[in-house]
Every structure is written in C-alpha cells, then in structure tokens.
Amino acid sequence: MDRQTADELTRMTSGFYAAVSASFSATRQAPWDGWRRVAELAGLGSDARPEPGERLQVLDLACGNLRFERFLADTMVQAHDARQLVTYAADNCDALALTAPSETACAREPRPDALVHYWHRDLARDLCAGATVWQAAGAPDLTLDAVGRPVGAHGAGWHVTAADDSGAAMPTAARDRTGDARARGTHDRRLSATAASLASPLPPEPVDLAVSFGFLHHLPLPEQRATLLRALVDACAPGGVVAVSFWQPSHSPKLLAKAQRTTASACAERRLQGLGPRDYLLGWQGRSDVLRYVHDFSEAEIDELAAAVADHAVELARFSADGATGDLNRYLVLRRTDSAQAEAHAREESAVSVCPTAV
C-alpha cells in the first residue's frame, strides 16, 4: 500500500470515530477477557506488597473511552493493590475519552488517588506522515472522575490533564460535558514538554506497563505498526511490560463476510485502490456514510513485529481471546529488558530450536 492510500484510510478512520463516538462507546463498556491475563503478567494481584507511596505507572496509546483504565482501577481494588494508579493516555477522539460509561460499567466509585494524564494526539496521522516529533501545546487541564463527571481541582476522582495540539478540541469537549466554557487553568509543565521523537517515551518518566489495544489494526502500513510498538517498548522501565492486541476478524466467518461485502462496495463507490488481501473497511450500525479501515493480522506479521523490538524486549506470552468466538484478538505481551539480556534470550531461543528434544 502506498502512503497516499494509507493517509486516506487514516483520515477515513478518524472521521468514523468522530461521527459515531457516542454510540460506539456505548457498545464498548465491558473489559476484554484478554486484559485479565495481561494484568496477571504485569504483576497485578500478586502477593507482593507495595511500599508506601509506590505507584503503578501506565502508558495507554489510543486509549478510547478509558475503559482499560477503569478495568485497572477495579482490578487493583479487588487485589488489594494499594499502589497509586497513574496513567498517561493519548487519543485523537476526545469525545470518546470524555464519554461517561454506563452505570453497569462503574459498579464502584473511582479510586480517589487514580490519575489519568490525557493528551490529544492523532497518532495514526503522525505515524502515516512519518512524523518524529510530538509538540504538546499548553491547553487547559480538565479534571474528571471515572464516570466522566467534572470535579474540583482538588476533589476526588480521576484527574485528567489534557494537552491538545489543536488548542480547541478539549475546551469544546469540556463545554459539552459541563455546560460551562470555563476550564481549570492550571498547566502541567511535565505534559507540555517536547518529546524527542515518536520512538521516545511519551510519559515524563519510564512506566511499568505500556499498552495499545484496538488500534494497531487501524494502521495501514507495517512501518507504522513497528514504530508504535517501539514507542511502547521505549516508554517502559527495564522489567516493565508491553501489551498490544491484533484484531483477527477472519476468525469469525460472519464478521469476515460482512467485511468483504462492505470493502467491495466501498472501494467501488469511492474508487479506492491499493488495499491488500487482509485489508478491509467496516461501517457502523447500518450506516454507509462512515467507514473505518481494519487489518486482519497474520501470525507471520506478529512475528515480524516482535522481531523488530527484540533488541530491547523479550516475549512473555502470546495468546488469543475476546469476541463471541473467544479468539478475535491476538495478544502479544513483552518484557522490556536491556540489550544484553535480550541478546542472551535470543541465544537461548536459538539453542533450543536447534537442539534435538531429549527422549
């Protein structure tokens, strides 16, 4: 696929989420089954007792409606994990991040010490353009609780520090949620710092867990996917965990048939060319005017991505979960390590592959 086609698909997908954010979020409330295993691999719910003041720091790229953050907070409460949860989240659809979850998705009040620092970032656009610099603008801060309710600057809830590169989207969203154009004006200088490159850590300090769920299949180009995975690995402290999901709609015959029909029709109507055999377009709830690009990942493609970051990460697990069939997402979970450890692990894997099995 050429870059021009990739850019067109990226704009199409961004427009999709802008148009259907409310109805889309309403159908995306429950946590994914695969997240529970990710949490276990990241050490949540372990017998280890944190030191006073210890934090669990998380990076979530393409965070959507923040349901992973709510899942983490609930999981930590259930596991009696007393660490403070601090999340650095980014997405280009602010309406999703500010959409209140349903009552069933918030059975408990949010943890009063949970923090979410949120950036408005068009990750797919930047990756498609080959951008290497993220410049954060000084935007108003917003403070929300876990159900999207605005609270005071020092009130209980989830404190969302917003940095919007347009300078307009987040204040508009705040008016929609509160009916008041005023926003808290305190500026967090840590979040307005310039990141050296997309492959450099977005948070102000290394994190314990870096994730991106439901996003890689929206990136049309292999180099975009590799750059995003590298950014997650680079954001982690040594020993930190990286987890990503890869959508595999071909595991559902019904979903695949729908994707094939929609793709053929949309390509003919819009004169789209250059899509690969595993590239599809999907609509939403019968609407033909909104489309999103999706890619169906093969195991070989996941192998290539894992190999692309093997110099600083070793594979912890790879498994399938989610959806009606229980296998619509393929998860890749890595542990950040230094290059020497990664090379040693690679040598061990190579030795195992060439040595005959003892009988």
Q: What percent of the chain has pLDDT over 90?
A: 35
Q: Is the pLDDT of residue 7 over 80?
A: yes
Per-residue pLDDT band at 256 (split at 50, 70, 90): very high
pLDDT range class, residue 203, cuts 50, 70, 90: low
Instruction: Please say whether the beta carbons of 16 and 262 come within 8 A.
Output: no
Give the integer Cα–Cα distance in Å for 49 and 224: 38
Mean pLDDT, range 269-289, rounded to an integer: 89
pLDDT confidence of residue 55:
85
Predicted local confidence at residue 209, as pLDDT: 95
Task: Decide if pLDDT at 356 tops 90.
Answer: no
d(CA 306, CA 73) in angstroms, rounded, equals 28
- C-alpha dihedral, 67 to 70 to 72 to 74, nearest 10°: -140
* Confidence (pLDDT) at 20: 86
Query: What gap in Å lies between CA 204 and CA 192, rounded to an integer?
Result: 10
Q: Quick one: DSSP state of residue 195?
A: B
Q: Are 240 and 328 in contact (CB under 8 A)?
A: no
**CA angle (228, 229, 233) in 5-degree steps:** 120
Rounded to the nearest integer, the mean pLDDT of the chain is: 75
Q: Is the pLDDT of residue 253 over 80?
A: yes
Top pLDDT among 109 and 207 is at: 207
pLDDT in tens, 305-353: 999 999 999 999 999 999 988 999 999 999 999 764 555 555 555 554 4
| pLDDT (0 to 100) of residue 50 | 64
Could you give the CA distance from residue 288 to residue 263 in angstroms, rounded to a whole number?
11
Residue 77 pLDDT:
80
Q: Which residues pair with 259 in a beta bridge?
A: none
Structure tokens at 127: 């990756």
Cβ neighbours of residue 328 closer than 8 Å, sequence gap 6 or more = 247, 248, 249, 251, 252, 255, 320, 322
Look at the chain and count its residues: 359
pLDDT given for residue 151 in this prediction:
45
Q: Which CATH number fits domain 3-248+299-335: 1.10.1060.10, 3.40.50.10490, 3.40.50.150, 3.40.50.620?
A: 3.40.50.150
Query: Strands 55-61 and 84-91: what pairing?
Result: parallel
Per-residue pLDDT at 109 = 60
- Name the residue type at position 154: H
Query: In this model, does residue 179 exceed pLDDT 90?
Result: no
Question: Which pLDDT tens digit goes with each residue over 80-135?
Answer: 887 888 888 888 888 887 775 554 445 456 566 777 877 777 888 777 665 543 33
pLDDT at 65: 85
| 33-79 pLDDT, tens digit each | 999 999 999 988 665 566 667 888 999 999 888 889 889 888 888 88
- Per the model's pLDDT, the better-predicted residue between 287 and 316 turns out to be 316
Cα separation, 74 vs 110, in Å, equals 8
Sorting pLDDT into bands at 50, 70 and 90, what band is 30?
Answer: confident
Which of 280, 298, 312, 331 has the alpha carbon at shortest distance from 222?
Answer: 298
